[in-house]
Amino acid sequence: MKLLQQTGLFIAAALIAVSCGSPSDTVETTDAQEVGEATGSTLTIDASTSKVDWRGYKPAGQHYGFIPVTSGELVVDGEAITGGKFVFDITGLKIQDIEETDENYGKLWGHLQSADFFDAETHPEAMFEVTSIETYNSGDQIEDNEEFVTDNTPKKDSELISGTPTHWISGNLTMRGNTKNIKFPAVVAINNGVVSAQAGFNIDRTSWGLMYGDESTAVDKAKDQFIYNTVSINFDIKAN
């Protein structure tokens, strides 16, 4: 795993915000980056308290839930995180806005697992692996992406940040067999050998091949017959 340049942490994107400033102070998605070797002690991700929350949008409504984290590790050298990765289980995806006893739950869950979205039969897991960490400076800004306005316009990146960011996290996110590097702000804390990190940001699902209902192909958006490409992601990761 790659040696990180700053203290901090990781977690796991998308053409979500285009900054007028330098690439060092904006949320962004780029090609996969090399992951080098990390040094230090290895901490185990606490799968019982770590998860990835998701929220998808369409003009007529929203769906949200979480994906459980099944395994992972952080490498810590003193007070610095020098590497890390975690795996989450696509087949364990939960939908929280519909009761599991409702037949619509099964229909939506099956659709998300299908080749229209995650293609979970072929790619049952996703993974995030840290490539670098930078300090979040007081002058750094998140510039929000413009979205087609409806009653359910996706949340802005600036609305998704959890608390006051301490670091920029960059890492390779692999879903559906596709890997992209994502960069986002995170709140990181290291106390008595316990590491916690929270982050909130948007991704463009089509960057990973989740193309169903691609809004860019909607002939007439006024008919509301599309699904927003933007998906909101929140990470809550703990390791000890």
Task: Kindly give the confidence (pLDDT) of every residue in the chain, 240 residues in length, as a single tens digit, with 9 standing for 90 and above.
Answer: 433 333 333 333 322 222 233 344 567 889 999 987 888 889 999 999 999 999 999 999 999 999 999 999 988 787 777 889 999 999 999 999 999 999 999 999 999 999 999 999 999 999 999 998 888 998 888 888 999 999 999 999 999 987 899 989 999 999 999 999 999 999 988 888 789 889 999 999 999 999 999 999 888 888 888 999 999 999 999 998
Residues forming beta bridges with residue 173, ordered by sequence position: 128, 180
Q: How far is CA 150 from CA 67, 213, 226, 227, in A?
A: 27, 16, 11, 12
Residue 14 within any structural domain of the chain: no
Write down the pLDDT at residue 25. 54
Distance in angstroms (rounded) separating the CA atoms of residues 83 and 1: 6
Domain-embedded: residue 216: yes
Distance between CA 124 and CA 1 in Å, rounded? 23
Residue 106's H or E segment, with its range, is helix 103-113
177 near 195, Cβ under 8 Å? no
88, amino acid identity: F
User: Contacts for 100-104 with beta carbons within 8 Å, 24 or more apart?
Assistant: none
What is the CATH classification number for the domain harbouring 114?
Answer: 2.40.128.110
Residues 6+ apart with CB under 8 A from 111: 117
pTM: 0.86
Residue 207 lies in a domain: yes
What is the secondary structure of 164-196 as a DSSP string?
S--EEEEEEEEETTEEEEEEEEEEEEEETTEEE
**Total domain count for the chain?**
1
- Does the residue 12 lie in any domain? no
Q: Is residue 140 part of a domain?
A: yes
C-alpha 89/C-alpha 141 separation (Å) is 32
Q: Assess if residue 7 is contained within a domain.
A: no
* Phi-psi label, residue 163: left if phi above 0, alpha if psi -120 to 50, beta otherwise: left
Instruction: Report yes or no: 235 and 52 within 8 Å, Cβ to Cβ.
Output: yes
Domain presence at residue 30: yes
Say if 226 falls within a structural domain: yes
Strand segments, DSSP code E, in the chain are 28-31, 41-44, 51-58, 61-77, 80-89, 94-95, 125-135, 167-175, 178-191, 194-204, 230-239
* 134 phi/psi in degrees, rounded to 5: -125, 155
Range of the domain at 176: 23-239
